[in-house]
Amino acid sequence: MTTASAPLTTARGEAALGRVSWVRNPWVVFLARRLGRLLVSVAFLVTLAFLMIHLIPGDPVRAALGISAPPELVAARQESLGLNDPIVVQYVNYVKALFSGDLGVSMTSGVAVSETIGQRLPASAGLAAGAFTVVMIVSIPLGLCMAVLTRGGRRRGTELGFTSTSAVVAAIPEFLLAVGLVFVFGVTLGWLPVAGRDGLSSYILPVLALSLGPALLMARIVRVEALSVLEQDFVRTARAKRLPHWRVYLRHVFPNALTSTLTIGGLLLSAMIVGTVLVENVFAWPGMGMTIVQSILSKDYPLVQGIVLVYGVAVLLVNLLVDLMLAVVDPRSTIREA
Amino acid sequence: MRLEHWRSAMRSPVGAVAATLLAAFAVLAVIAPMIWGDAAEETEPAALSQGSSSEHLLGTDALGRDIALRVLVATRFSLGLALMATSISVVIGIILGVLPAVLGRRTGRLVVAVVNLAVAFPALLLALVFAVVFGIGSHGAVLAIGAAGAPSFARLVQTNVASVAGRDYVSAARVAGVSRLRLVVRHLLPNIGEPLVVNATVMAGTALLAFAGLSFLGLGVQPPSYDWGRLLGEGLDRIYLNPAAALAPGVAVVLAGLAFTLMGEAIAQVVGIRTGMFRTLDAAPVPVARAESAGDDDAVLVAEDLRVAFPAAGDGWTRPVDGVSLTVRRGETVGIVGESGSGKSLTALALARLTPENAAVSATRLEFAGEPLLGRSDAEVGRLLGTSLAMVFQDPMTSFNPSMRVGAQLAEVTRTHEGHSREEALERAVDRLRKVHIPVPERRARQYPHEFSGGMRQRAMIGMGLMSTPSLIIADEPTTALDVTVQRQVLRLLRDVQRDSGAAVVLISHDIAVVSQMCQRIVVMYAGRIVEELPVDQLASAAHPYTRTLFGSVPDMTTDRERPLATIPGRPPDPGARPGGCAFAPRCTFADERCAEAPELAVVGARQRAACWHPRQEPVPVTAAAETGDRI
Ligand code: SF4
């Protein structure tokens, strides 16, 4: 995940900071570099969101209002959206507005986009957070157990069962799992609510649908990583110290499998954040995912833009968090070497 | 991808399943619309939204159309759209992927940077953005999914291109003045074809799922057209009335997606991305009951007829250690020498009960301080050896846990075995680090292994062994991975430690010079067996032809340690293909018919035993370096 932009930002960072002594502190350099990368990514995201509207062939306002809309209304709307200004001016205005927290106004409801997002965000965030927690709680112990059970080619049957089951389940996309869960627990058994957000029980199915695949995928990765760590010399050293098995696994094997677990965990979390879009639409979950689909369908572009920005920033923050955690967890990582 | 690759991919169970599924889908895609195309459009006002019946296997939709037929007919559209989107991803991906190699440095970097930025966002988010740009409907969705998949494919191409770009033939072509474009088309792309094919296959599965998702959301295929995602979305609305209407297209999507993914995996396996299978150990030789004890009270370690076997390809076993008998007395230093592959390191691991999981260890006797080690649980062995056996491994770079502070790694020993508190244990760790001459041990204890130099790490490893009071230290090539100057420090430390603690030392090395300086007794191993055992002051009277060549070619500190035995023609036999009889016979100048039978260790002189039918008597022409010993 080291990007080509990294050298660029360091070079700039170091030039700006001059000869101040704390520049030597690898943590400072690391943080500066990482924040620089975040800024570049956010700029990319904002540009993407801005261009989204301008790349639409034809006139977005006409497209949104329909062919039958009176030309005066179209013109007025274009004016109010500033679409008649030169594109550079529009871009500058867009970025300026963003800085003041203004995401624009919905073209269909006239409500401020930020207000709608504020209402919808908690439901989506709750879903993603719940699913991520389940993934972590399930996958790490499961993966470690599987590694221990199947180490050195033991229990081929268990290994085959685990790898094939997890491969198949992980290959099922979340919205199909969701449909399956609705069928089993809603339609057939009638145990759990299948639509809407109402109390804790309404979380169960959407969270399961979101987390099942990633949890098994992650467990596979933890297992493979732990198995490869088990082959390392320092595990032999730990065995030579005659430590209890649990200590060897928890203290020596797991922390060294953590790097890739975290990396993959971050990717899974970003995918899950966006995966909520589909799951929300299966469960009629009143989050941003429902809203973005509705607003794409009704061509409410400012709202789409706003939600895309929120998803994008959430993903970038997850990436940043993962990088920071990696830096803390792995003493050999970039920071110290910087 | 060569033809035989495809063939062997098909032959693996996974590949066979995937290929069958794909073939079935392909056939369906071709014939289903032709046969049932019209029937699937037929509305039946008398049978709206029905459940499964004999007439309509999976029921009917809101307009009374047969769902089973619609699912079958939708195969063509669903697969076709997915493949189109995949081709778009692949084409854009390849273009973006090779651009950095074609363009100049700067522009190239820019492309890489943009791709990296785009890859950070999940494909679904990009697909939603592009769906807005390209418009709702199947065309827009194909473009959107294609564009959304492009960055990750581009990244893949970039990494693969970068990995071959440095190869000789590419440099050669570059020197020859081949144009950049031609370089890419003729030299780079053909050589990364395999991973690209694998990933494009997997990507087709992903595109199929993504498409189903978009159509399900209502952003993809629009009525009256339909694909699986669309059918699924319509079915979900009436899942309480007719679950099959939602489940059938769902199953179709999953099966098709899996078929592509599995196909990719099968190809990847054939192309050689993963190999290496372990066999189970059910046929492992059982530890032999122990023979009468030899009554050696003075012995720290006694091993008799120690064997280590690994399951080999096919049904057999390889036996890298094949009947080693060794006794180490208290305070003694014993050196085990031999070429790599002689089984000396594995012997050390077996003595310490640290062999890899899939090794089968047997011995007629294996005792540590009078207590048998075989046939005991790990916990019992741990109690026996935890405080009294210390190990020093070859590579100090990899033998420490990189994510744990050095002090904590030392402290762990006494915390586990002597129940020390964290502070007590850490205090002792600092003390031991000081003992092994680590400067500023208080600070060093808080550092991570990578902050130590190699020599320092090896000293810390010795310090780790000293956390308790070891009666035996087994050091396996402790200096091989170190610089010459550092080697001496470590050896000197080992000798001091041995003198101070009174522990016995087993030093394993391929380096005669090291062993002869450190040890009182030398054990020579060849092809998994001991061929000679002799006191260090009798090196000149070595009797076994192998030992004699070994000692005759003693290197000094400046020779290349990796090839100390270059003077003996031939190579030691592979553990899997050892000749019957004396294993040294093919390289031995004294071999005759008798050597077709394996010689046993037999006394040939004072405190000296050799396994040879024709032991030599005349003195070895020892080189100066070995005689003077260049004492450490
Ligand atoms: S037994 Fe024969 S072949 Fe083996 S070392 Fe002695 S003389 Fe050579």
Give the model confidence (pLDDT) of B303-341 as tens digits: 988 988 888 776 677 888 888 999 999 888 999 998 888
Higher pLDDT pick, A179 / A316: A316
Q: Give dist(CA B250, CA A243) in Å, integer.
A: 50
Q: For residue B566, what pLDDT band results from cuts at 50, 70 and 90?
A: very low
**With an 8 Å Cβ cutoff, is B477 touching chain A?**
no
Q: Give dist(CA A103, CA A117) in Å, integer.
A: 10
Answer whether the bond into residue B224 is a cis peptide, omega within 30°. Answer: yes
How near does any CA of chain A get to the CA of B117, in Å?
Answer: 6
Q: How far is CA B10 from CA A231, A256, B264, B266, in A?
A: 32, 37, 11, 8
Quote the pLDDT of residue B279. Answer: 27
B397, B398, B403: best to mutate for the A interface, most A CBs within 10 A: B403
Q: Which of B549, B550, B590 to mutate to test the pocket of ligand 1 (most atoms within 8 A of CB)?
A: B590
Domain match, B314 and B246 both: no
Q: Give dist(CA B345, CA B547) in Å, integer.
A: 18
Would B55 be classed as within a structural domain?
Answer: yes
Q: For residue B630, what pLDDT band results from cuts at 50, 70 and 90?
A: very low
- Residue B48: name the closest of B23, B25, B34, B66 by CA: B66
Q: For residue B561, what pLDDT band results from cuts at 50, 70 and 90?
A: very low
- SS3 for B19-56 is HHHHHHHHHHHHHHHHHHHHHHHCCCHHHCCCCCCCCC
How near does any CA of chain A get to the CA of B356, in Å?
Answer: 8
- pLDDT above 90 covers a percentage of chain A that reads 7
| Contact in structure between A270 and A318 (CB atoms under 8 Å) | yes
Higher pLDDT pick, A336 / B307: B307
DSSP state of B285: P
Q: Decide if B403 and A239 are in contact by the 8 Å CB cutoff.
A: no
Asked if residue B550 has its Cβ within 6 Å of ligand 1, the reply is no
> How is residue B311 written in tokens?
């399951």
In the predicted model, what is the mean pLDDT of residues A61-67? Answer: 73
In the predicted model, what is the mean pLDDT of residues B7-27? Answer: 81
Domain match, B503 and B542 both: no
A79: left (phi over 0), alpha (psi -120 to 50) or beta: alpha
- CATH number, domain containing residue B506: 3.40.50.300
Burial B309-346 (b: 16+ CB within 10 A, else e): bbbeeeeebbbbbbbbbbbbbebbbbbbbbbebbbbbb
* Identity of residue B44: E
Would B278 be classed as within a structural domain?
Answer: no
Residues of chain B in contact with residue A107, where contact means CB-CB under 8 angstroms, are: none
Q: Give dist(CA A283, CA A195) in Å, integer.
A: 4
| Contact in structure between B615 and B604 (CB atoms under 8 Å) | yes
Q: Decide if B254 and A40 are in contact by the 8 Å CB cutoff.
A: no
Domain match, B352 and B423 both: yes
| Contact in structure between A304 and A248 (CB atoms under 8 Å) | no
Of A183, A252, A255, the CB nearest to B243: A183
- The CATH number of domain A113-337 is 3.30.70.20: no
Asked if residue B595 has its Cβ within 6 Å of ligand 1, the reply is yes
- Residue B154: name the closest of B108, B218, B223, B221 by CA: B108
Domain match, B39 and B182 both: yes
Q: Decide if A244 and B379 are in contact by the 8 Å CB cutoff.
A: yes
CA atoms lying within 13 Å on the CB side of residue B418: 17
DSSP state of A4: T
Q: Give dist(CA B584, CA B571) in Å, integer.
A: 10
Q: Give dist(CA B532, CA B547) in Å, integer.
A: 7
User: Could you tell me which residues are beta bridge partners of residue B603?
Assistant: B609
> How is residue B438 written in tokens?
């680590």
Quote the pLDDT of residue B88. Answer: 93
- The B472-476 sheet, strands edge to edge: B389-392, B472-476, B504-509, B333-337, B521-526, B529-535, B608-610, B602-605
Quote the pLDDT of residue B629. Answer: 44
Residues of chain A with CATH 1.10.3720.10: 113-337
pLDDT at B515 over 60: yes
Cα torsion at B37, B38, B44, B50 (round to 10°)?
-10
Would B470 be classed as within a structural domain?
Answer: yes
Would B253 be classed as within a structural domain?
Answer: yes
Q: Decide if B129 and A151 are in contact by the 8 Å CB cutoff.
A: no
Quote the pLDDT of residue A165. Answer: 85
Would B277 be classed as within a structural domain?
Answer: no
* CB within 8 Å of B487: residues ≥ 6 apart: B479, B514
Q: How far is CA B573 from CA A122, B121, B585, in A?
A: 69, 55, 10
Quote the pLDDT of residue B262. Answer: 83
> How is residue A94 written in tokens?
């867009």
In the predicted model, what is the mean pLDDT of residues B492-508? Answer: 88
Q: Ligand 1 centre and the CA of B316: distance in Å?
A: 27
Asked if residue B134 has its Cβ within 6 Å of ligand 1, the reply is no
Quote the pLDDT of residue B467. Answer: 86
The total number of structural domains in chain B stands at: 3
Q: For residue A338, what pLDDT band results from cuts at 50, 70 and 90?
A: very low
Domain match, B10 and B93 both: yes
Domain match, B184 and B231 both: yes
B78, B116, B202, B381: best to mutate for the A interface, most A CBs within 10 A: B116
> How is residue A182 written in tokens?
């609705």
pLDDT at B91 over 90: yes
Quote the pLDDT of residue B523. Answer: 93
pLDDT at A22 over 70: no
Would B616 be classed as within a structural domain?
Answer: yes
pLDDT at B54 over 60: yes
Asked if residue B585 has its Cβ within 6 Å of ligand 1, the reply is yes
* CB within 8 Å of B179: residues ≥ 6 apart: none
* Identity of residue B515: V
For the segment A97-142, what is each residue's pLDDT rounded down to a tens digit? 888 878 787 777 778 888 888 888 998 999 999 998 999 899 989 9
Quote the pLDDT of residue B555. Answer: 46
- Residue B236: name the closest of B252, B217, B255, B222 by CA: B217
Higher pLDDT pick, B324 / A64: B324
* Identity of residue A272: M
Q: Decide if B356 and A152 are in contact by the 8 Å CB cutoff.
A: yes
Q: Decide if A49 and B129 are in contact by the 8 Å CB cutoff.
A: yes
Of A237, A244, A281, the CB nearest to B393: A237
Q: Which chain A residue has its CA at the smallest distance from B211's CA? A: A173
How near does any CA of chain A get to the CA of B570, in Å?
Answer: 31
- Residue B310: name the closest of B601, B623, B575 by CA: B575
Domain match, B509 and B533 both: no
In the predicted model, what is the mean pLDDT of residues B245-274? Answer: 79
Domain match, B225 and B336 both: no
Asked if residue B598 has its Cβ within 6 Å of ligand 1, the reply is no
Burial B445-460 (b: 16+ CB within 10 A, else e): bebbbebbeebbbbbb
- Among B518, B553, B587, give the residue marking a domain's end: B518
Of A48, A176, A296, the CB nearest to B131: A296
- pLDDT above 70 covers a percentage of chain A that reads 90
- Among B458, B489, B518, give the residue marking a domain's end: B518
**With an 8 Å Cβ cutoff, is B144 touching chain A?**
no
Q: Decide if B401 and A255 are in contact by the 8 Å CB cutoff.
A: yes
- Residue A117: name the closest of A241, A320, A287 by CA: A287
Q: Give dist(CA A62, CA A68) in Å, integer.
A: 9
Higher pLDDT pick, A8 / B196: B196
Q: Which of B584, B601, B617 to mutate to test the pocket of ligand 1 (most atoms within 8 A of CB)?
A: B584
Q: Which of B8-12, B413-417, B612-616 has the lowest mean pLDDT?
A: B8-12
Q: Which of A64-68, B435-439, B510-514 has the lowest mean pLDDT?
A: A64-68
Quote the pLDDT of residue B282. Answer: 30
- Residue A36: name the closest of A61, A9, A72 by CA: A9
> How is residue A305 written in tokens?
């833009």
Domain match, B507 and B565 both: no
pLDDT at A146 over 70: yes
**With an 8 Å Cβ cutoff, is B241 touching chain A?**
no
Q: Decide if A179 and B246 are in contact by the 8 Å CB cutoff.
A: yes
Quote the pLDDT of residue B505. Answer: 92
In the predicted model, what is the mean pLDDT of residues B21-40? Answer: 80
Q: Which chain A residue has its CA at the smallest distance from B134's CA? A: A56
Would B287 be classed as within a structural domain?
Answer: no
Would B281 be classed as within a structural domain?
Answer: no
| Contact in structure between B334 and B523 (CB atoms under 8 Å) | yes
Quote the pLDDT of residue A83. Answer: 74
- Residue B204: name the closest of B85, B97, B78 by CA: B85
Range of the domain at B586: 527-628
Instruction: Let me know how many helices (H) and strands (E) chain B has, helices first.
Output: 21, 13
Domain match, B333 and B238 both: no
Higher pLDDT pick, B126 / B12: B126
Q: For residue A17, what pLDDT band results from cuts at 50, 70 and 90?
A: very low
In the predicted model, what is the mean pLDDT of residues B408-437? Answer: 87
Q: Decide if A234 and B121 are in contact by the 8 Å CB cutoff.
A: no
Cα torsion at B353, B355, B356, B357 (round to 10°)?
-40
Asked if residue B526 has its Cβ within 6 Å of ligand 1, the reply is no
Asked if residue B524 has its Cβ within 6 Å of ligand 1, the reply is no
Instruction: Let me know how many helices (H) and strands (E) chain A has, helices first.
Output: 15, 0
Return mean pLDDT, chain A.
81
In the predicted model, what is the mean pLDDT of residues A217-221? Answer: 88
- Residue B544: name the closest of B623, B601, B506 by CA: B601
Higher pLDDT pick, A198 / B348: B348
Return mean pLDDT, chain B.
80
In the predicted model, what is the mean pLDDT of residues B138-166? Answer: 85
In the predicted model, what is the mean pLDDT of residues A266-283? Answer: 87
> How is residue A267 written in tokens?
């990717």
N- to C-terminal Cα separation, chain A: 15
CA-nearest residue for atom 6, ligand 1, is B612
Of B131, B358, B395, the CB nearest to A152: B358
Domain match, B76 and B153 both: yes
The per-residue DSSP string of A131-186 comes to HHHHHHHHHHHHHHHHHHHTGGG--HHHHHHHHHHHHHHHHS-HHHHHHHHIIIII
Quote the pLDDT of residue B84. Answer: 92
- Among B518, B545, B571, give the residue marking a domain's end: B518
Asked if residue B84 has its Cβ within 6 Å of ligand 1, the reply is no
> How is residue B622 written in tokens?
């020892």
How near does any CA of chain A get to the CA of B515, in Å?
Answer: 23
Of B124, B254, B417, the CB nearest to A172: B254
| Contact in structure between A103 and A112 (CB atoms under 8 Å) | yes
For the segment B346-359, what is each residue's pLDDT rounded down to a tens digit? 998 888 888 887 78
pLDDT at B563 over 50: no
Q: Give dist(CA B32, CA B30) in Å, integer.
A: 6
Domain match, B138 and B81 both: yes
Quote the pLDDT of residue B430. Answer: 92
